[in-house]
Amino acid sequence: MSARGRKSIAAARLVAGLAALSVLLGSEVASTAAEVPVFLGSIGVGQAKPEVATELRSLLRAELASAEFARVKTSEQYVLSATLVRLDSIQSADSARATCVISVAILRGGSSTLHALVNGRATAEEAKAPAARRDALRAAVHSAMVRVPRALR
């Protein structure tokens, strides 16, 4: 075999090795994310309007999708159950102030036993009460959801 042929074989092996390594590393990242399956369960909003439940569920899904679970090492499955504890606002002459509190129960999926309970609280001030309530709800959800990965460690 000529030197040129050996170089071609060596180059092909190198390319194949790099491709295999990239697949291996890529699957490691994917498996790390899949190791902590966290699902969204029931949502409770008490006496709040039905659209608040829809907005709360949407905010929770978005936060769950962006949560950082890379450092969590577990084979358990978890279900998040969220409850709107408080969402109220006070309108004054020039602005509205809203306060929101949510509670997120982290349940072990197989047994539905309580693993952790995290709370989120926020206050927002806007010109009108509906905008202040939306901002407070969004911030309270974020406040609670950033604690979820730490609660699973």
Contact present, 101 and 86 (Cβ < 8 Å): yes
Per-residue model confidence as pLDDT tens digits over 29-84:
333 444 567 899 999 999 999 999 999 999 999 998 888 877 787 778 899 999 99
Instruction: Find how far residue 127's CA is from the centre of its chain.
Output: 30
pLDDT category at 10 given cuts 50, 70, 90 is low
Per-residue model confidence as pLDDT tens digits over 95-146:
999 999 999 999 998 788 999 999 999 999 999 999 999 999 999 999 999 9
Taken in order 108, 112, 117, 118, the sign of the CA dihedral is positive
